[in-house]
A and B are shown apart, each in its own frame.
Chain A
């Protein structure tokens, strides 16, 4: 088997099984289908070219790391505004922004569990999409893809503690958004 055929076989066994997961992440990060398709084609090529750097471990998190980085590159190039969220801020500002969004559940509107369960897909999706990208990716990687904190930290290149607080804050914001809608 030539190098090319060997690489394609690896791609088929390592990458292809996780393309649906990868596409879902790309959609959550860029917010729409068409752009996510572009990102996926780019990310697939990157994964193919880097296939020999995959050294065991979770193939899914390996691929999603590539997709995540491709999406960020794509967003920075095509939609500089989308990244103004936290990446544009310096570290002091960033800390302030992150701190300003507490996770203290007793201080804010807190809807009943029932309301959350009754949310329809469109509104739930809109609320998640409205999150700053750092919070959104932590939430999506946890709740949509089911990764644990350590994997999320690796995929996003973020310290574990930051993953933990972003995730909690993302959830709190979503819960508050549901409450706000009802009040």
Chain B
């Protein structure tokens, strides 16, 4: 029987190999050689005992816990809210695939003309959809502007002006705070028949384009306009004509 050359010559290397041996990562020839080395060297043997003790301690004392229920719910909710079409980041990666899906889905899709607003529109859409999926679309529920407006104090930087459009067939349902682009945003909620309109009110510097800009994303209609230093976005799932009416009433108010 030939004595195999001990693999590794420095004590550091021998120790490294002892770890790999312990982990079952050596090929059979090296495993045999290192196994002999470990058996013959009390220092290495003690090290292998210690890493074995360490492994057993970790497995016994720090086992993988079951997924907490509340986290499971959060994840399921997050996945449940993803829509048929992947989001912009993904779209950038697979534009051609997505384009095919868009065409196939038959959704009204005017986004080919959308540019920097695209991500923001998506965030607005998300806010609206999230509210529809929750128990109710409002955090404060009241048809009284003087109840809804003060509720926003301290929640957003600037409480929105609340316009009453009851007479015009757009009853105020209440308000909520959405997070758009990492900023809390005041959202007023109006009804129209059995549908809900989310009106996002963003205090921001007035832009050049003062005209209402309409978009349609996957069957949802969005209208945007600015007044002074405030930008408004209205979203709902019915026709754009009524939404334009709603916007016109607010702008005229």
Q: Could you list which residues of chain A lie within 8 angstroms of chain B, going by C-beta atoms?
A: 2-4, 8, 11, 19-21, 23-24, 37, 40-41, 44-45, 48-50, 102-107, 110-111, 113-114, 116-117, 119-121, 124-125, 128, 142-145, 148-149, 164-165, 167-168, 171-172, 174-175
**Residue interface mask B43-81, A partner, CB < 8 A = 1:** 110110111111111110110111110011011001100
- Tell me which residues across on chain B come within 8 A of A117, comparing CB atoms: 53, 56-57
CA distance A120 to B60 in the complex (A): 10
Neighbour of A124 across the interface among B43, B61, B78, B83, CB < 8 A: B61
- B23 on interface, CB distance cutoff 8 Å: yes
Evaluate whether A49 and B64 lie within 8 angstroms (CB atoms) in the complex, with A41-B78, A116-B53, A175-B50 already known.
Answer: no
> Which residues of A sit under 8 angstroms from B52, Cβ to Cβ?
113
Q: Do residues B75 and A110 form an inter-chain contact, with CB atoms below 8 A? A: no
Given contacts A3-B101, A110-B50, contact A120 B61 (CB under 8 A): yes
22 A-B residue pairs with Cβ-Cβ distance under 8 Å, sorted by A, are A3-B84, A3-B101, A4-B82, A19-B67, A23-B65, A23-B68, A37-B71, A41-B78, A44-B79, A48-B82, A110-B47, A110-B50, A113-B49, A116-B57, A117-B56, A117-B57, A119-B57, A125-B62, A143-B55, A143-B59, A171-B19, A175-B50
**Chain A neighbourhood of B59, CB < 8 A:** 143-144
B204 at the interface (CB under 8 A from A): no
- Cα distance A33–B54 in the bound complex, in angstroms: 24
Say whether A103 contacts B15, CB under 8 Å.
yes
Contact A45-B79, Cβ < 8 Å, known A37-B74, A113-B49, A167-B19: yes
Specify the chain A residue showing the minimal Cβ separation from B58: A143
What's the minimum C-beta distance from B72 to chain A, rounded to whole angstroms? 7
Check A2/B84 contact, CB under 8 A, given A37-B71, A142-B23. Answer: yes
B78:A24 contact, CB within 8 angstroms: no
Interface centre among A2, A49, A172 (most CB of B within 10 A): A49
Q: Which residue in A8, A103, A110, A144 is a CB contact (below 8 Å) of B46?
A: A110
In the bound complex, residues from chain B placing their C-beta under 8 Å from that of A19 are 67, 71-72, 75
Closest 8 CB pairs of A and B: A116-B53, A121-B61, A105-B47, A168-B19, A113-B53, A20-B67, A103-B15, A24-B64
Asked if B39 is at the interface (CB within 8 A of a chain A CB), the reply is: no
**7 additional contacts (CB under 8 A) given A37-B74, A117-B53, A128-B62:** A19-B67, A41-B78, A111-B50, A113-B46, A164-B20, A174-B54, A175-B51
Per DSSP, chain B at the interface is helix
**How long is the Cα–Cα vector from A149 to B16 in the complex, in angstroms?**
13
Instruction: Please state if B54 and A175 are interface contacts (CB–CB under 8 Å).
Output: yes
**B234 → chain A closest CB, angstroms:** 26
Q: Which one of A8, A40, A50, A148 contacts B75 once the chains associate, using CB atoms below 8 Å?
A: A40
Least Cβ–Cβ distance between A20 and chain B, in angstroms: 4
Q: How far is the CB of A2 from chain B (nearest CB, A)?
A: 7
User: Taking the complex as formed, is B116 at the interface, i.e. its CB lies under 8 A from any CB of chain A?
Assistant: no
Judge whether A143 and B54 touch: CB under 8 Å.
yes
Is A113's CB under 8 angstroms from B50's CB?
Answer: yes
Would you list which residues of chain B between 147 and 165 have a CB under 8 Å from chain A? Answer: none
Q: Is B87 an interface residue (CB 8 A)?
A: yes
Can you name the residue of chain B whose Cβ is closest to the Cβ of A139? B58
A144 to B83, CA, bound (A): 35
For B62, list chain A residues within 8 Å (CB). 121, 124-125, 128, 144
Minimal beta-carbon separation of B216 from chain A (angstroms): 20
Task: Among A11, A144, A164, A168, point to the contact of B79 (Cβ < 8 A).
Answer: A11
Residue in A closest to B25 when the chains form the complex, CB atoms = A149
Residues of B within 8 A of A167 (CB): 19, 23
Q: Is the CB of A104 within 8 A of B12?
A: yes
Residue of A with least CB distance to B75: A44
For B84, list chain A residues within 8 Å (CB): 2-4
Residues of B within 8 A of A145 (CB): 64
> Whole-angstrom distance from the CB of A165 to the nearest CB of chain B?
6
B117 within 8 A of A: no
